[in-house]
A and B are shown apart, each in its own frame.
With several copies, the nearest count.
Chain A
Amino acid sequence: MNAADQRPSPDMRVRLGTLELRNPVMTASGTFGSGREFSDFVDLERLGAVVTKGVSMEPWPGNDSPRIAETASGMLNSIGLQNPGVERFVERDLAWLRTLDVPVVVNVSGHSTGEYARVIERIEQAGGADAYEVNISCPNVDAGGMVFGTACGPASEVTRSCRAATQRPLIVKLSPNVTDVVEIAKAVASEGADAVALINTLLGMAIDAESRRPKLARVVGGLSGPAIKPIALRMVWQVAAALDIPVVGMGGITTAEDAVEFMLAGASGVAIGTANFVDPTTTLRVIDGLTTWCRERDVARVADLIGALET
């Protein structure tokens, strides 16, 4: 393996439409705050992109506590998109992120079709983000969220109105809680989404047998972590095979090898979510591991892995 270190560094760049990333490794929305929270552990400028926590027009209080529960190889969360609203986000978080040399993808939430677009417009007024990720798949809010992501009609509508609000790359984040994810992906692609991100969390539930109560105050929440990786990989593979636009893959990635698997399945970028909680340096570990992985196998461009699964 020492010999490997002498070999040339692989080209780690990938593209999501017009957005070029220095490497494929992004953060998964909601698991990395606005990036600043992780800056004691991670040099943010090494990341492919920072994807922010979801932001809505007005402040959202989120759901009652308890909001998380550990499950076998995963966790449930019912945070419920708690955020201080776009004004505060622009002033405090976006302004800070803009001082860094890293692409910023703002994850956008809304109670209504119109709200998504208004959030984007507000950010555009403030100078814009490098890309927007439209979350039509949060299982943790009653109005909004997943309801937009589980049927083609609403998914198209949200995409159309966001598309009208910005020229910048628009990534639509899909829900896995559907019969046919390809159908939804096609619907948003045909409305001008530049890329799709998947998967968001799977709707799940945990019960404390002793107290006979749900472990989450909201009863149900979103399942994430290694447990869902097989489902995420399958959906990435299905969508990447059916669509021409790039796919950002996520769901349980904790190692460079996981990232390779998602890229082989067709992902152009990958995002690290729940694994950040177990090891706050996971993003860097995956970037370094991916680079080494390519170098040791004479993969000249990491992009050569995209969709290279041999079936």
Chain B
Amino acid sequence: MTGEAHTHPRSHPPVLESTPVVVNDRVAEGIGLLVLDAPLVATHVQPGQFVHLRVAEGTDFILRRPFSVHRVVGGRIEILYQVLGRGTRQMSELEQGDVIDVVGPLGNGWTLPDDASHALLVAGGLGAAPLGMWAERLAERGVAVSVAQGAPYSERLVARELFERVARRVEIATDDGSAGERGFVTGPAERLIRSGEVEVVFACGPERMQQAVANLAAAAGIPCQVSLERLMACGIGACLSCVVSTTEGLKRACVDGPVFDASTIKWESSEVPPKH
């Protein structure tokens, strides 16, 4: 079950697609939902993969920005994004009909160990984004899904409805206790892992949280996959800006990840610096 999480079938090669904005809505304070008409990417993207967005066309230089595909609906892809800096601010100003260009699908997504019948998804903040499609897909395959979701406060529990729709159980923690229990998502995650019911864990969120979850899974002897964020220039494996230290050496988050078998990660490596 261990090495296996790393053998991905060669996924569809990425394409460069010009995609019209279908919807760009504010779903919570500082969080937007961007829906792009991207039939090529939509057809091929696997849960946990990401796209590299050129958030502003035109004269001025801006690197692409990487975003997980949250869901696919028909030929459309949904992206949940948090407004942090220049790029995401520009994203928040996109209007229906604007056309932006997308490179994707990129990276390796989540993989289900053959024998697993009950999966735990641990989502911290926007870490819910890459888990949306995966929760749906697991449920479709008849895998039991439990979710531990955390956020600063209730409104920020993005994708909560999706999880509640497809999951057997959703346990919530918020920093201010405005929904679920007060505290971190590691609380419910720990209980669910210790319960002995879940057979595999998929985690995304702040790197420290992922590390904590990985440790819990390891202690419980169950496999765990995590989705790591790194600053990315090319997104296609060429520039080496996105390296992750693993027991197998330096790996590129964009092509060897972003989803990794947690047991291979050397957690001392530095993640994306925290945002103000």
Contacts and interface: CB of A to CB of B under 8 A. Distances in A.
In the complex, is A directly touching B at CB under 8 Å? yes
Contact of A38 (B238, B243, B274): B238
A74 B61 contact: yes
Interface size class of A (residues with CB under 8 A): 35 or more
Contact of A277 (B234, B250, B271, B272): B234
A30 B16 CA distance: 22
A176 interface: no
A77 interface: yes
A213 interface: yes
A64 B62 CA distance: 23
B273 A208 contact: yes
Contacts of B54: 278-279
Nearest to A252: B61
Interface string A197-236: 0000000000010110101010000000111000000000
Interface string A52-74: 01000000011011111110111
B240 A67 contact: yes
Interface size class of B (residues with CB under 8 A): 35 or more
A277 B62 CA distance: 9
Contacts of A37: 234, 236-238, 255
Contact of B61 (A66, A77, A217, A278): A278
B270 to A, nearest CB: 5
Nearest to B241: A68
B61 A225 contact: yes
Contacts of A61: 250
A138 interface: no
A82 interface: yes
B103 A280 contact: yes
Interface in B225-276: 230-231, 233-243, 250, 255, 269-274, 276
20 contacts: A33-B237, A38-B236, A40-B13, A40-B14, A40-B15, A41-B236, A64-B269, A65-B231, A65-B269, A67-B241, A67-B243, A72-B60, A77-B239, A79-B239, A276-B238, A277-B63, A277-B234, A278-B54, A280-B16, A280-B234
Interface of B: 13-16, 54, 60-64, 86, 101, 103, 230-231, 233-243, 250, 255, 269-274, 276
Top-4 shortest CB links A-B: A33-B238, A210-B276, A37-B238, A68-B241
Given A73-B60, A277-B235, 4 more contacts: A40-B14, A65-B270, A70-B86, A277-B239
